[in-house]
A and B are shown apart, each in its own frame.
Chain A
Amino acid sequence: MDDLLQEFIAETRETLEALSGEIVAWEAHPEDRARLDAIFRFVHTVKGSCGFLDLPRLARLSHAAEDVLANVRAGERVPDRAFVNAVLAVVDRIGEIVEAIDAGEALDDSGEDLLIAALEEGSEEIVLSQSTGPTRGASRSVRLNVDLLDRMMSGMSDMVLARNELSRRLRQGDLDPMIEAALERLSGTVAEMRDTVTRTRMQKIDQLFSPLPRMVRDTATGLGKSVQLHVEGSDVELDREMIEVMRDPLVHIIRNAIDHGIEAPDDRRKLGKREAGRLAVSARQSGNQIIIEIADDGRGIDTERLIKKLVANGKRREEELRALSERAKLALVFEPGLSSKDEVSEVSGRGVGMDVVRSSIEAIGGRVELDSVPGKGLRLAIHVPLTLSIISTIVVGIGEQRFAIPRQAIEEIVTERSQAIRIDSIGGTPVATVRERRLPLVDLAGLLGLERPETGAQMLAIVNIGEGSYALAVDTVLDNEELVIKPAAPVVMSTGLYAGQTLPDSGYPMLLLDCAGLATAARLNFHRDAALEDEEEAVAAEAEGMPALLFSDLDGVRRAVPLGIVDRVEQVDADTVRFAAGRLRLSIEGRILPLAAFGGIEGRKRLNVLRLEDGASEVAYAIDEALDIVRLPDEIVPSCEAGPVAGVVLLNGEQVELLDAHWVFAEHADPERKEAAPLCLLTGDDDGWMRTFVRPLLESTGYRVAFHLPEGETPAVVLASEGQVPVPSPAPVVQLRRDRARPGANDDSVYRYDRAGLLSALQRRIAGGQG
């Protein structure tokens, strides 16, 4: 908002300066139409901005002036001296208020009613105060032409190159230490300067995000839907050019999400979702990438429909599409000429498909990732490099020649000699197997028609180009270099193999390889490759555990909480949290929720809270920020004692504490709300399996769960793992078994993954009897 206000002040100031001449001319010739129009436009613009920025005084003044000027334009009123004076007084006043806003000073509003009254026909002429020029705060910003910035940037790159050349030439001979020191200083200054200049190109991504609330509202209203937008990370900075390129794709993706993803309110109610769809747009920096994520809680991508559509279009064969892996099927939304909705709607059916979205993002070196859960929603992550002009590269060599490969495209580099690598030929096509992963192998020297010395082992760069990965064989991997990349001549680009040219410190020009272009030239077919990966994916899917939300807690520790119980993540004002009636409570949406916190909340203006729901009651849990959605591994090391932490899991090699949602509810939930639910006692949960798997299931189906019998309570039923039946049992027992097969005819245990069987067994036991 501050940015917008600054923009408004700068713009108004600029227009006022330009207008001052017009005003004088208008005073001399009040009937001059062009001048009148210019002044009208000015007050009109001010009025528009004021409404948006919530500046009521300016809005009132400009609105009044606009009205009377409109009358004059319509010929309903003849401008006389009194009228001109009154309008000028208003324009002056607008200038004064704007300056006062900029300087952060208060300005007395006493005269404004008079000014507005003076605009009325037949009112007394007002005396223009001798304008001494409003007191103007020293300007802290300059508005610059974008061309100038571009020229500065390209001049900067040239300067870097010139420095490189100078240093190379100097180092060729014996270098005087004095000169060397001067050169070092020059280098340092140039590097610093480059950073600064690069930063002038950076803009807050807010530029992209600020129009979204309005757009989402309008789009949703147009479709008779209701959507809640949650925007995060507006202060992440991105290359200005990149922001321009991202604008249309982002709008398109969001429209798509509202139109195709989020269901109509009636459907949502039937599905047990909240009527208002949720749309979360966030940006964050990760290394030298910016990740923009758009997540909705709609129906997700219907791959079945995609396939039918593509087959109906006659573009692809059905068997071929069915054979694809889930991931490859999702990626079909990027196929050209596809509208995933049966009817082209007014909103997203604008002839722009997701194929265009992807290609424009790939054109700036970015990629799009999809994560769709049917019925639950779609998460779309756009990864783009921080800046366009300087990129981090890996330099590889073929014989004597050097090429650069964008660092971002490379997954890893391995040597052919490594144990983990096999190179085979399948039907004459070379294939590299890297740690159980089969990849097409592209020999760069062969592809480029270069001769290479037979020097044995090559290096393999595993390159990812979005739709798949391949191994690129090169002779040597030389260096890691930050390079200023410029487009090469059309005749070079037209080979389709290069993404640009650069002049590295060596002084010899070097080409930047276009990894996707190389794949095309080598005729790699990634649809088949994706099918090959199927097996691997299936194994991975089996290993995947329960989804959980990873967050950083108030005390700075990273913790995870099962996603099933997180209703949503919300940002609240710290003011809404009070220590009242013996505990922290959060007032939200006209209700009071108990708030659990694992650390102090003092000193925070805003708080992120997880809203946890167990089906019967709701608890808010204050966190620092939500980080990611992760899959919990099977192995959960239970905590030594009961408390807010259920246990520890290993995520990406890092120990992460798993929040004990049960404890949170037991400790914090308002007790009267949960009395009604039958209590299920879980016993024999040595490995934490019940805690992670069974408890969410039971809680979501309306049981209360306990691992130790709370005092004074009787469980309605006991759920025991294999061989762990408590004796004597306080209640009827349901026993779980690990094997799918029933060990004997009389055995009434339930296979532990038989969800329906388990629930019905529990119900039967509670209803009475052992049958």
Chain B
Amino acid sequence: MSHLYLIAHVAGRSVAIDSNQVESVVDIGEVTAVPRAAGHIRGLAALRSRVVTVVDTQAALGLEGGAPAKRAVITHVDGHHYALLVDALEDVAPFDLLPLASGVALDNGWRDVGRGVVERHGEPILAIDLAALIPGYASTTEQ
């Protein structure tokens, strides 16, 4: 069953994001820091008349923080809006979600967010769950 996926670049890799999870794609302006919050929380940003919590996706994956990204994917989890920073956006296209090949073990950070793969021109791309990147929320969705 085909489904729309957004192909983005995070930490130098391509990932596929379920379009149902994406509310919009925006460029983030000035960010207000949230002192003493977890390290991967960049801060708060104003998006139209809403306040969104900006998440450094790379740090949330447990990777070294890269260049400060400006572009972000907005998602809505449990009544709050989050902006997940991404390096770049490539494409939106329908794909079939396939299970990970058995025996494939993902790196620590990716393991928690990976939900399967989609194939683009024969190239497998990891499909990730945005909600699992939201700190404090990931722990409740994992079984």
Contacts and interface: CB of A to CB of B under 8 A. Distances in A.
Contacts of B38: 491
A508 interface: yes
Nearest to B78: A490
Chain A, interface size: which category?
20 to 34
Given A165-B48, A503-B49, A509-B45, A494 B136 contact: yes
Contacts of B45: 509
Contacts of B137: 490
Q: Which of A164, A165, A503 has the most CB of B within 10 A?
A: A503
B35 A508 contact: no
Given A162-B49, A503-B46, A495 B32 contact: no
Interface in A488-516: 488-492, 494-495, 497-498, 501-503, 507-511
A448 B51 contact: no
Contact of A491 (B35, B50, B136): B136
A431 to B, nearest CB: 23
A497 B80 CA distance: 18
Given A165-B48, A492-B37, A503-B49, A509 B78 contact: no
A491 B30 contact: no
Nearest to A511: B34
Contact of B34 (A164, A165, A486, A498): A498
Interface residues of B, number: 25
Contacts, number: 74
Contact of B32 (A164, A487, A489, A508): A508
B123 to A, nearest CB: 34
Contact of A490 (B30, B43, B46, B80): B80
Q: Which of A158, A492, A501, A521 has the most CB of B within 10 A?
A: A492
B36 interface: yes
Contacts of A486: 51
A507 B46 contact: yes
Contacts of A490: 78, 80, 136-137
B99 interface: no
Contacts of A511: 32, 34, 44
Given A509-B44, A509-B45, A511-B44, A492 B35 contact: no
A152 to B, nearest CB: 16
A286 B50 CA distance: 33
Contacts of B49: 158, 161-162, 164-165, 503
Contact of A502 (B33, B34, B48, B51): B51
A509 B32 contact: yes
B82 interface: yes
A449 B51 contact: no
B33 A492 contact: no
B57 interface: no
A450 B80 contact: no
Contacts of B43: 509
B51 A495 contact: no
A80 to B, nearest CB: 57
Nearest to B49: A161
B82 A449 contact: no
Contacts of A503: 46, 49-51
A401 interface: yes
Contacts of B136: 489-491, 494
B36 A449 contact: yes
Contacts of A162: 48-49
B51 A401 contact: no
Contacts of B35: 401, 448-450, 497
A575 to B, nearest CB: 56
B134 A510 contact: no
Interface string B74-86: 0000101010000
Contacts of A510: 32
A291 to B, nearest CB: 32
B53 interface: yes
A450 B36 CA distance: 9
B60 to A, nearest CB: 10
A491 B53 contact: yes
A497 B37 CA distance: 9
Given A495-B36, A495-B37, A497-B36, A489 B48 contact: no
Given A486-B51, A491-B37, A492-B34, A501 B44 contact: yes
B41 interface: yes
A492 B53 contact: yes
Contacts of A502: 51
B135 interface: yes
A129 B53 CA distance: 67
A507 B32 CA distance: 11
Contacts of A498: 34
A151 B4 CA distance: 31
B32 A492 contact: no
B84 to A, nearest CB: 12
B32 A401 contact: yes
A509 B43 CA distance: 9
B74 to A, nearest CB: 13
A491 to B, nearest CB: 4
Nearest to B43: A509
Given A503-B46, A508-B46, A511-B44, A489 B53 contact: yes
Nearest to B44: A509
Contacts of B36: 448-449, 495, 497, 521
B73 to A, nearest CB: 16
Contacts of A494: 136
Given A158-B49, A492-B44, A495-B36, 7 more contacts: A487-B80, A490-B80, A491-B134, A491-B135, A509-B44, A509-B45, A511-B32
Interface of A: 158, 161-162, 164-165, 401, 448-450, 486-492, 494-495, 497-498, 501-503, 507-511, 521
Q: Which 5 A-B pairs have the closest CB atoms?
A: A161-B49, A448-B35, A509-B44, A489-B53, A489-B80
9 contacts: A158-B49, A158-B50, A489-B136, A492-B37, A492-B53, A495-B36, A508-B46, A509-B51, A511-B34
